[in-house]
Amino acid sequence: MKAPEAGSLRTGAPRASGGPGQLPVVAVVAAGGGIGAAARYAASLWWPTRTGGFPWTTLWVNVVGCAVIGVFLVLITEAVTAHRLVRPFLGTGVLGGFTTFSTYAVDIRGLLGEGRPGTALTYLAATLFAALFAVWLAAMATRRVLLWRQR
């Protein structure tokens, strides 16, 4: 099979650029990501994982972050009309920078490298379950509070 020529893939229509409309979104995601990552780093300084210990800090950062995501998304999608940059700033930026899949993966790899596969598997499952449960519980609780306040 032969690859098509580059010129044959063009439709003739000019390509739409992101333009200046995307710049504010990128800027607020970057700013929020910096804030969230700094908060996560602060948590790791306040509650460091000891060598050979269970990575409680990363687990709780992810669980708390997911709970806040649950509250935030219910509020922003069901309760209030917010500026178009609020969701990318807080949801993608701050909370995306605060929660951390990469450190979670590195922690699992470290536990496996230390010859602790049972702990690694427990951590993998506990984080997944707790994070999903936290977002679900927080979203449900937020909806109930909103319904209660409407009465």
Residues comprising the binding site for Na(+)?
Answer: 96, 99
What single-letter DSSP state applies at residue 90?
I
Residues comprising the binding site?
Answer: 96, 99
For the chain, what is the total number of helices (H) and then of strands (E)? 6, 0
CA distances from 63 to 3, 15, 100, 134 (A): 46, 41, 10, 6
What is the C-alpha separation between 73 and 18, in angstroms, rounded? 25
Tokens standing for residue 89: 């700033």
Q: Is 65 exposed, middle or buried (0-12, 13-18, 19+ CB in 10 A)?
A: buried
